[in-house]
Structure 1
Amino acid sequence: MPLYKTITVNNHTKVLIWKIDESFDFLSKDVVLTPHCQQRVDDMKSDIHRRGFMSIRHLLAVVGYTDFDLYYDASGKPNLKDGKQISITHSFEFSGIIISDKPVGIDIEKQRDKIQRIARKFINYESSFVEQQLYKTRVLTVIWGAKESLYKLYATPGLSFEQHIQVAPFDFDAYATVGKIAYKGEESDYTVRYLEFEGFTCVFTLPLEE
């Protein structure tokens, strides 16, 4: 299946999601990788990781980029050579990218009940809000995705999901909330948006809208 979903967030921000049901060989056809990325995919042991990696290159092509337009900095953060901001994610059979003029982050997660067992490792401020919720797995998946996408956006070593990133309480059906990063004496707020599909949650973040 080709492009699964496109979301135009605003005039300068777009989200694209791919459902990965093609084989690795099919996804690799006519895609040329940089030597660095070719080595990365050659070293991957998991077929779904290899397919996810290649599906990202198809998403790039949808918006006019190739693998040669993408590079990774010393921390592993992806960047585009034209100065646009990009964030990348893939989880099982879905992958996604967000591209913008401003710093952005994206995460896709499969909704799994085991997230309730590890929640104490990534929530703090959010605990009382989560305890009040009926659908804890879905709520926790949004919170994890928000923190993961904010971590990608901020791209600063030492940032802790539990200690430095907060997600404001939200009305689940509003599909939006606010995230805060408080780190080394600096605080910044961000818009968090999310959607659900086929048992997955996609969360993306960008600077707080005025």
Structure 2
Amino acid sequence: MAIAYRQRIDDDTEFALWRIEEEATDLYSQLQLNQQEKDFVESLSNGKRHLHWLGTRVLLRKMLRTDEYIDCKVDEHGKPYLVNLPYHISLSHSFDYAAVMISKTHKVGIDIEQIKQKVERIANKFMRKQELAFIGGRQKIEQLYVCWCAKEAVYKCNGQKEVSFADNILLEPFQFEHHGVVNAQLHKKNNVIDYTVGYMQYEDYMIGYVKGE
């Protein structure tokens, strides 16, 4: 399958979605992997995790428009980075989709989640009371997924561990639209970083994406 959706944020920043319809062997054949990566792929049981890892790497290759080997590693905080290419990257996946965001000039973060009712049961684990106060109405579930995806995107963009969604990432009130923005602040130690997070509903998925420093 080709790229399902692509959006350019600015001249140097974009994200895309890939609907994973291929078998693992088809995705694998489109990649160049070193031995360590081959061993890692073989260690994954056949299933969604296997397809997600392959799907994000195939999409990354398509977005970078290269047939050469891409040295993509993960740092001590779990943030993926490219060793020999001048791009910041962020990867995400959920059920049938892989999502990748790239930028030459800014840190980035992206998250994709399939929309399900169960998010309401765990809302108090990632939202403050004042945030929950502006959530409601017939699109409550969609709003909650915007909040989750926005906080996850900020977390990935920041790229540091020991950040609590409820305690450190705060969202300003917003009205849900199918494609909109929400303002966020990351509070860590004595620093406050402002973010404007884009979000969009795509089929029954929610995507949050952000461009940082």
- 2:124 corresponds to 1:120: yes
- 2:28 corresponds to 1:28: yes
How far 1:154 sits from its partner (Å)?
1.0
> Which residue is 2:186 aligned to?
181
List gaps (5 residues or longer) in structure 2: none
- 2:202 corresponds to 1:197: yes
Match of 1:161 among 161, 165, 169: 165
Identity of aligned residues (%): 29
- Pick closer, same or farther for the CA change 1:67–1:106 going to 2, 3 Å: farther
Name the SS of the counterpart of 2:91 in structure 1: strand
Per-residue Cα deviation, 1:28-75 (whole angstroms, up to 9, x for no partner): 114221333223322222511111111112212212255533221122
Contact 1:87 1:106 in 2 (8 A): yes
Matches of 1:36 and 1:73 in 2, distance apart? 16
Q: Aligned pairs, how many? A: 207
- 2:55 corresponds to 1:55: yes
**Counterparts of 1:40-189 in structure 2 under 5 Å?**
40-62=40-62, 63-65=64-66, 68-81=70-83, 82-100=85-103, 101-124=105-128, 125-130=130-135, 132-173=136-177, 175-189=180-194
- Provide the TM-score with structure 2 as the length reference: 0.91
Name the SS of the counterpart of 2:56 in structure 1: helix
Name the SS of the counterpart of 1:102 in structure 2: coil
Question: Which deviates more from structure 2 when the two are superposed, residues 15-24 or residues 51-60?
Answer: 51-60
List gaps (5 residues or longer) in structure 1: none
Contact 1:57 1:67 in 2 (8 A): no
- Pick closer, same or farther for the CA change 1:67–1:181 going to 2, 3 Å: farther
Contact 1:133 1:139 in 2 (8 A): no
- Provide the TM-score with structure 1 as the length reference: 0.92
Matches of 1:57 and 1:194 in 2, distance apart? 23
Matches of 2:137 and 2:207 in 1, distance apart? 19
Contact 2:61 2:70 in 1 (8 A): no
Matches of 2:76 and 2:199 in 1, distance apart? 29
Contact 2:30 2:58 in 1 (8 A): no
Name the SS of the counterpart of 2:101 in structure 1: strand
How far 1:171 sits from its partner (Å)?
2.1
Matches of 1:67 and 1:75 in 2, distance apart? 24
User: How big is the alpha-carbon RMSD for the aligned residues of Structure 1 and Structure 2?
Assistant: 1.6
Matches of 2:72 and 2:149 in 1, distance apart? 23
Which residue identity is paired with 2:145? T
